Amino acid sequence: MMPISTQIEELGGHVFRSKMPHEAVLTGSQKLLEVEGRYYHNVQGDEPNQDTKALTDLVALLSGCFVQIATAHVQVNAADAGYPNIVKVVTDHSTIALYFSRARIPLIGMA
C-alpha cells in the first residue's frame, strides 16, 4: 500500500508532519494547532484512502465565508454502528454536528 503522504502529494496536497513527540500528543486535533494555512485535512493513519469527492466538497464548503470547520460524514451501516474505531456523529436537520461518539448511538442499555 502506498504511504498516505504519497497519496496526498499525488493529489496536489502538501504534507505536514507534527514536530511534537508521538507520546506527547493526545489527539490529532492537537497536531493541527501547529499547521498554518487556510485549509487543512487531518488524515488519520487508519483511514488512508480518502474519497476525492468528499474532500472536494469539504474545500468548497470551507471556501464560504460562514463555515470555519467541517467534517465529512456518511450514514453508518448497522454492522459498523458498534465498532469503536468508527466515529459516529449526530446532526441536526441542517447537518450541524451536535456531538460525536465512538460508542453506538444511542448507547444500547444506557437509555
Give pLDDT tens digits for 59-109. 777 777 677 777 878 888 888 888 988 889 999 998 888 998 888 887 666
What global pTM score does this model have? 0.58
β-strand 88-91 against 97-101: which pairing, if any? Answer: antiparallel
Distance CA 54, CA 74 (A): 10
Distance CA 45, CA 60 (A): 24
Q: Is the pLDDT of residue 111 over 60?
A: no
Q: Which residue from 56, 50, 53 is spatially nearest to 6, judged by alpha carbons?
A: 50
Instruction: Using alpha carbons, list the distances in angstroms from residue 33 to 4, 22, 27, 43, 46.
Output: 20, 15, 11, 14, 21
pLDDT value of position 93:
92
The more confidently predicted of residues 24 and 48 is 24
Distance of alpha carbon 38 from its chain centroid, rounded?
16
Tally Cβ neighbours within 10 Å of residue 88. Answer: 19
Q: Is the pLDDT of residue 42 over 70?
A: no
